[in-house]
Structure 1
Amino acid sequence: MTNLATILVNSAVDQGDRIAVRHDDSTLTYAALDDACARVAALLRDRGVRPGDRVALTMPNVPLFPVVYYGVLRAGGVVVPMNPLLKAREVAFALRDCGARMALVFPLFADEVTKAAAETGTECLVTEPAAFEDLLRAHEPMSGIVDRTDDDPALILYTSGTTGTPKGAALSHRNLATNTATAAETLLQVGPDDVLFGGLPLFHAFGQTCALNTAVAAGATLTLLPRFEPRRALEIMARDGVTVFLGVPTMYAALLHAELPDGFDAHRLRLAVSGGASLPVEVLHGFERRFGAGVLEGYGLSETSPVAAFNHPDRPRKAGSIGQPIRGVEMKLVAEDGAAVPPGEVGEIAIRGENVMSGYWNRPEATAEAIRDGWFHSGDLARVDDDGFYFIVDRKKDLIIRGGYNVYPREVEEVLYEHPAVAEAAVVSVPHPVHGEEIAAVITLRPGARATAEEIRDHVKDRVAAYKYPRIVTFTAELPKGPTGKILKREIVIGGHLL
């Protein structure tokens, strides 16, 4: 049988009485989590969800997330996780694009999702805790797990590209199961006695594979934090005896400078893992000195389930490096013409292995462009040393990473162009001491038109997730262009920064 949900069933058999998920005083044992997931699967089946149907999931980091996540998988469905911060227009696009059969949403985020579901004709179920528990109790647990093949999709993760049109990376049961097993066995090396910090968003590939699925596969405990706040994170680390901390660089910087709670004790912390963006070496060493645990950096993308490279715990580490390819994965650097790049020179990272997606959902042309001769072309530029350690040096794509969240300029530019006063717009990033990168919009106005920076910001803020809108808005008479008329972002100057 191939179904990612088997990792939960197996742990429920072996570790039934152990705590699987904790959110403050609320806990679920493996037996209770398995039972709840089986009831979700029965509910979905009775509402017409069939194997292969897509089911959207919009929830924060609360115990209900894994209940629904594994319930959908158990029923043979395909999970489509949504960022809870998305607006109705963004949700509607994804629901329509993947042909979602149902959408399940946490009450706090119901307004935008229900609007989107009404627009697309998608059945929407608001999971108000008390009412949803009653609904589950009314369903007998579904016996067994719907069998799927290795290559059947288990998950669709929406990720924008430089075209600005979101694409759904289809990850198979094999992609996720093998990446999870590798993370649990060779990278994090976790077991039932471990407690993993669950502050990474579970709708994201990093949080799903390295926190949720890895913890469940190992029979460990995942302690959840719905919204990262450094003081609260420190309290959870001490209270629950966190052994493995997973985070993005902005989290590490925040913890490094946060005041420690009275009596703080994190002696059980043995490992910290960073991904999502480059971690400054000073922050890495500062965290290690303060908390007494080694930090290992890794690298991956939604399209690679996500882990592709890692500083392995049983090998020498190189600070500032994303490490070496993980088990079952090959990496190489290629030039524009596809030729291999020798050690020490910069090239684009190409990845091949059991972690690489089957393709973008209903996007054959985009899939063919990204996966060539079996190699996924990442768009990230790096160099590799003689020991096989990779070092990211730049991004080929115009991706902006703000506080660990991916922001694609073209998507924001499309919204800017919807403003009646905007003639041309370019979205770029500038360095930021906390978020790593901040989003800036440089705009030329239509002849005779007027607009303020605040008006432009509000226009975008109402139409995209909160982390995407430009905090910096400047106006210019003309944007720099090349001979073909293409805007040259690298020649834009903002606040003294030449981009």
Structure 2
Amino acid sequence: MAEITSPIRKAPQFPDDLTLAQFLFDYQHPIRLPREPDSPWIIDSVSGKTFLQEELRDRTWCLANALSFSYGLGPDHTVGIVSGNHVDFPIAIWAAHRLGASAFTLNPIFNVAELTPFLLDMKPALLFVNSVALEAVQAAATQTGLTRDRIILLDSSEKRDLCSLQELVETGLAKKETYQFEEFKLKPGEGKTKVALCFPSSGTTGVPKMAAIPHAAIIANILQNAAHDAGTDEMTVPIMERRFRPGDVSLAALPFFHIFGLLLNLHYHIFSGMVVLIMPKFDFKEYLSIIKHYQVNHLSLVPSILVLFSKHPAVKAEDLTSLRVVFAGGAPVNNHLVRAMAALIPQAVVEQSYGMTEVAGILAMPPLNRRIATGSGGRLLPGNTARVVKQDGTLAGPGETGELYIKGPSLATHYVNNEKISADTFVDGWVRSGDECYFDEDGEIYVVDRIKDFIKVRGFQVAPAELEAQLAANPDVADCCVVPVPHEFSGEIPKAYIVLSKAAAERVSRDPEEGEKIKSALIQDIAEKRAKYKALGELEFIDSIPRNAAGKLLRRVLRAKALNDHEAGAAAPGENGV
């Protein structure tokens, strides 16, 4: 198996002379399905306010007009958005694109130390900020030379010395008769190099950096997804049988500062004619209430939300009957959680997909004739090619693991201000994923683990995800993470961090000995069902597992904790005071 391609061999034609905003608002691709004229593009789930296409277009135009008039924003500039989900989050991006500027996104819970390196790399001309993040952003901006008048509030605030996005929209409208900005136009082919968006990514190294994604790559990924959903030329799927179709209602609770939330849950669903409900702040009970109230058809989930569906007492199957499609992604998913979700909503397709920031979203999707996930990440989208490279540099065959290399029309071009890691990751037209994967005989991809996360026990590799999947299946476990700890004989041994389920935690609070029984049972379960070298050497209960906004385990945090605890224990005096 030298290379793997999509079963839908021909990728759809994509324009390379349009910005993302122009593609979404001003261009009709043949594969795009028409929506009803009065169908909203967006609904604010809190206020219930709806936004039609023309309303969003006008709001974007007015903001672009003001940004050009008041700030001189243009093609050589970059704007940053530091915010949770908000109706005006995409408006800021689309307005920047109308002017030829690029945009980047950052998590609003980042502190000053986390924000500062990104601002130094990106050198933004403007920052759109949610008031929750304002204090940290102001401090970081000061350190990077960005003045206060360059910070624009996305939401309402009493900080009257700061301009708000709404005020700029009003300014742009007021200037319409005397001043109109000039729409930025790409030259043919320029969409493949002109950066549209930058997202933080750990890439193959675990070091945070900004992946630069051009307009054409984002547009290509949207069209690849649409082509996959439409089926092949020989077996075209009727519109009313497609997974993504006009009139469906999608709940956007995943953060827009992450690629899964912004480009798939928002942009692709809008392109597909769906109504996108924007949830500003995630609260699971409110999430369930929105599903019932708005009769939501589509959910895009990360593993932590799947855990809640399987464990939270507020979940009622009768409130979820409107759901038709549920996709889990953003991080490897324990398949038993997917199957538990499928059992809860048997009327729906419940599946996993595989993607990464460096491919502008999704790389592979499940076959259209499957309703319940098998544990694979699906088959490559049309236009994508993959290789699996073994440690010795040779190409893997079916069932053989190695690092996944990807080629296709939706690739990022580089990491901002990081030539060395860019050169290591983007190699001769391929992107190295940093994921240990294999393809089966049917061309479906299975992710074993991140390459750097393998635990080496006496020379044998142990995949943490394998142990985590087994631990998470236990009803006493709400969440878990497995990391290596040093061991004098074995080199490393696995250590499990466990978050107890609510019921188990209550038992332990009543009887502390119950905690030791649970630990013993979990360790014994792994010992009985896995090879001896995969046995857990240690197990510790903790309150929560650190994850990023996409739901990915921040394994490096617990790896560092385990190492520090081990070193502290080794340095502690023994019984003889030595």
Normalising by structure 2, we get a TM-score of 0.68
**84-93 or 219-228: bigger deviation:** 219-228
Task: Look up the match of 1:213.
Answer: 267
Q: Is the 8 A contact 1:7 1:216 kept in 2?
A: no
Residues 165 and 267 of structure 1: is their aligned pair in 2 closer, same or farther, counting only changes over 3 Å? closer
Q: What is the alpha-carbon distance in structure 2 between the residues aligned to residue 161 and residue 301 of structure 1?
A: 9
The one-letter code of the counterpart of 2:103 is: V
Change (3 A) 1:254 1:477: closer
**Residue 60 (str. 1) matches residue 81 (str. 2):** no
Decide which of 118, 139, 148 is 1:115's aligned counterpart: 139
User: How many angstroms does 1:160 deviate by?
Assistant: 3.3
**1:40 and 2:63 are equivalent in the alignment:** yes
Q: What is the CA-CA distance between 1:162 and the residue it aligns to?
A: 6.8
Q: Specify whether residues 125 and 8 from structure 1 end up closer, same or farther in structure 2 by C-alpha distance, changes over 3 A only.
A: same
Distance in 2 between residues matched to 1:103 and 1:296, nearest whole Å: 37
**SS in structure 2 at match of 1:68:** helix
Alignment CA distance shift 1:16-1:95 (3 Å): farther
1:174 pairs with 2:216: yes
Q: Is the 8 A contact 2:64 2:172 kept in 1?
A: no
Aligned CA distance change for structure 1 residues 103 and 332 (closer, same or farther; 3 Å): same
Say whether the 8 Å CA contact 1:343–1:385 is kept in structure 2: yes
SS at match of 2:135: helix
Q: Residue type matched to 1:136 in 2?
A: V
Percent identity over the alignment is 24
Write out aligned runs for 1:459-470 (5 A). none
Contact map agreement 1:50 1:75 (CA 8 A) in 2: yes
* Structure 2 SS opposite 1:76: coil
1:249 to 285, 289, 303: 303
Cα 1:316–1:287, aligned 2, differ >3 Å: closer, same or farther?
closer
Residue 150 (str. 1) matches residue 191 (str. 2) = yes
Aligned residue among 279, 302, 307 for 2:362: 307
Contact persistence 1:311–1:317 (CA under 8 A): no
Match of 1:202?
256
Q: Show the counterpart of 1:231.
A: 285
Per the alignment, residue 124 of structure 2 pairs with 100
Separation in structure 2 between the aligned mates of residue 253 and residue 388 of structure 1, nearest angstrom = 29
Q: In structure 1, what is the Cα distance between the partners aligned to 2:303 and 2:448?
A: 16
Give the letter aligned to residue 210 of structure 2.
G
SS of the residue aligned with 2:172? Answer: coil
Counterpart residue identity of residue 5, structure 1 = A
1:439 corresponds to:
none
Distance 1:326 1:434 in 2: 38
Three-state SS of the structure 2 residue aligned to 1:156 is strand
AA of the residue aligned to 1:364? E
Cα drift, residue 197 of structure 1: 1.4
Partner of 1:159: 201
CA separation in 2, counterparts of 1:395 and 1:174?
A: 28
SS in 2 for 1:245: strand
Following the alignment from structure 1 to structure 2, what is the Cα–Cα distance between the partners of residues 143 and 96? Answer: 29
**Partner Cα distance (1:275, 1:378) in 2:** 16
Q: Residue deviations 1:41-66, cap 9 Å, x none?
A: 11222202111411100111121212
SS in 2 for 1:129: coil
**Does the aligned pair in 2 maintain the 1:197–1:223 contact within 8 Å?**
yes
Name which one, 1 or 2, has greater alpha-carbon Rg.
2
User: What's the secondary structure of 2:268's corresponding residue?
Assistant: helix
Question: Relative to structure 1, is the Cα distance of residues 108 and 49 closer, same or farther in structure 2, using a 3 angstrom cutoff?
Answer: same
Does 2:513 align with 1:475?
Answer: no
- Contact 1:344–1:385 (CA<8 Å) still a contact in 2? yes
Matched AA of 1:22: I
> Are the counterparts in 2 of residues 11 and 219 from structure 1 also a CA contact under 8 Å?
no
| Displacement of 1:277 | 2.1
Distance in 1 between the 2:442 and 2:448 partners? 17
How far apart are the structure 2 equivalents of 1:364 and 1:283?
A: 39
Q: What is the root-mean-square deviation in Å for CA atoms of aligned residues?
A: 3.3
Q: TM-score, normalised by structure 1?
A: 0.78
**Equivalent in 329, 343, 359 of residue 384 of structure 2:** 329
Gapped runs of 5+ residues in structure 1?
Answer: 410-425, 436-459, 461-466, 481-499
Structure 2 match to 1:5: 21
In structure 1, give the amino acid aligned to 2:94. Y
SS at match of 1:139: helix
Change (3 A) 1:353 1:162: closer
Q: CA deviation at 1:305?
A: 0.6
Structure 1 residues 375, 67: CA separation in 2 closer, same or farther (over 3 Å shift)? same
Count matched residues.
430
CA offset at residue 173 of structure 1? 0.5
Q: What is residue 228 of structure 2 aligned with on the other side? A: 186
User: Which one has the bigger strand percentage?
Assistant: 1
Shift of 1:216: 2.2
Alignment of 1:408-427 (within 5 A): none
SS at match of 2:63: helix
Alpha-carbon deviations, 1:400-454, whole Å to 9, x = none? 9999xxx9x9xxxxxxxxxxxxxxxx9x98444589xxxxxxxxxxxxxxxxxxx
Q: Does 1:125 align with 2:152?
A: yes
Residues 330-349 of structure 1 mapped to structure 2, 5 A cutoff:
330-349=385-404
**Amino acid of the structure 1 residue aligned with 2:20:** L
Equivalent pair of 1:238/1:264 in contact (CA under 8 Å): no
Closer, same or farther: CA 434–144 of 1 in aligned 2, 3 Å: farther
- After superposition, the Cα gap between the structure-2 partners of 1:128 and 1:232, relative to the gap in structure 1 and judged at 3 Å, is closer
